[in-house]
Amino acid sequence: MKRAIGFLFTFCISAILWSQSYEIKFEKVSDSRGKAPGATFSIVQDDRGVIWFGTLAGLYKYDGYSFKIYKHEKNNPNSLSANAIRAMCLDKNGNIWIGTQGGGVNMFNQQTEEFTRYIHSESDENTIGGSDVWAIDIDHDGRIWAGHWGQGISVIDPKSGKILRHQHLDGVSGSLSGDIIRSIFVDSKG
């Protein structure tokens, strides 16, 4: 009986404390012209405090005062490969790895402000598995895991330049259960 009363008391106190209202304020981020990123699918913050927005209209850099926008430039192979960004993550060197819709994976070097593209090619096995990347993360060895919409997972090893593809294979145990990957998370065990 003492346990039940103790539990009930703890539950009631917790409920009262939890239900205390507090005010949440949201602030719209925009530049001096009132322009703000549109539909945003991914946000990362680098070690300098700069916030990066992955949007359907390109990569937005916000330093707390103004925006700089990076977009696909048709004749520039060092630009973003596609404007629609679905996922981003940072590596230990401060590079931003970007999963795009229609343009594969991009690595943005903040020092040079150039993009390195990892594009799918049907004729080359050492390319990523598809062009639509909806999830991205980095493992403890620095490899980039890219989840594709309909083409499984690609693993990019920036050190060796090798790319591995993983897909669902009917009747093969140990293969992916499906090829639509919308989220990737590297846990503490790798």
3-state secondary structure of 139: coil
Nearest to 81 by CA among 59, 61, 57, 106: 106
Among the ranges given (5-14, 69-78, 175-184), the one the predictor scored with the smallest mean pLDDT? 5-14
Give the global pTM: 0.83
Amino acid 27: pLDDT: 74
- What are the tokens at 102? 């229609």
Tens of pLDDT, residues 5-39: 555 555 555 555 555 566 777 777 766 666 667 78
R_g (Cα) of the chain, nearest Å: 21
Mean pLDDT of 124-135: 95
Q: Give the Cα-Cα-Cα angle 97, 99, 91 (nearest 5 degrees).
A: 15
- pLDDT tens-digit map of 101-125: 999 999 999 999 999 999 999 999 8
